[in-house]
């Protein structure tokens, strides 16, 4: 969310909020200024896009759909497999179509962010996954092995 064009805006926070901001910044390896800018940007995006929220994940901080465990990029992965059929994905997830459309709207507004997540997902193969999850087993459908 960093931009080369920026403006300095000073703000006053209650002491407890300032401490919480510093803890969050430390947890993520950010400066308090970066953390506050990120939180403001996320708040603006929440107010501009229906059903969008932001959460920490193992892949970093991500735009997610409220009331679900899915990140926007994951909904876009489903939309890609359904050839952008919002109604089909809506039925698949048991969601109202507007919630799926909200993910599509967000992805169209922030294509680099969502594209990067999709590309990262596309680049993970089963061998890489096994390094992260040693218990993973391949259940792919194929020819039966002779007994």
Is domain 49-132 classified as CATH 1.10.10? yes
Tens-digit pLDDT string for the chain (147 aa): 555 788 988 989 999 999 999 999 999 999 999 999 999 999 999 999 999 999 998 888 999 999 999 999 999 999 999 999 999 999 999 999 999 999 999 999 999 999 999 999 888 888 888 888 888 888 877 666 655
Structure tokens at 90: 């809506």
What is residue 147's predicted lDDT score, i.e. its pLDDT? 56
Where in the chain are the domains? 49-132
Predicted TM-score of the model (pTM) = 0.81
Cα 80–83–88 angle (5° rounding)? 100
């Amino acid at each position: 969310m960093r931009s080369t064009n920026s403006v300095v805006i000073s703000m006053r926070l209650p002491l407890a909020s300032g401490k919480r901001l510093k803890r969050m910044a430390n947890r993520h390896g950010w400066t308090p200024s970066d953390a506050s800018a990120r939180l403001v940007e996320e708040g603006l995006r929440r107010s501009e896009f229906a059903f969008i929220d932001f959460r920490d994940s193992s892949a970093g901080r991500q735009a997610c759909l409220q009331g679900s465990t899915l990140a926007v990029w994951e909904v876009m992965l489903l939309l890609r497999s359904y050839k952008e059929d919002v109604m089909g994905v809506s039925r698949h997830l048991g969601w109202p179509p507007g919630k799926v459309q909200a993910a599509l709207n967000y992805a169209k507004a922030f294509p680099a962010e969502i594209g990067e997540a999709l590309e990262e997902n596309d680049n993970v193969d089963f061998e890489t996954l096994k390094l992260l999850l040693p218990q993973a087993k391949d259940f792919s459908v194929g020819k039966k092995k002779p007994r």
